[in-house]
Amino acid sequence: MFLVVRSLKQDDKKLDYKLRKHDIIKLGRVKYKVREICIKEFAQKKDKKRKKLEKFLKKVKEVEEKKI
């Protein structure tokens, strides 16, 4: 059984549905399982943190090589 989100209402007001991991979306006859949700803003923040970490690790490696 599926919930038809398009027609989800309460007291003549449309309700939102928050998509979560492991939800199943049915489009026509095809079903899709949500594995991961990626929001652009969070992905950009994650990339910035990863780049900072990579720079830091690179500097640490350079310092260690100079000691040798």
Query: How many domains is the chain partitioned into structurally?
Result: 1
Instruction: Kindly report the pTM of this predicted structure.
Output: 0.46
pLDDT of residue 16: 81
Query: In whole angstroms, what is the distance from residue 31 CA to residue 35 CA?
Result: 13
Q: Which residue range forms the structural domain that includes residue 35? A: 5-67
pLDDT of residue 63: 87
- pLDDT single digits (tens) 3-55: 777 777 788 887 788 888 999 988 889 999 999 888 887 778 888 888 889 99
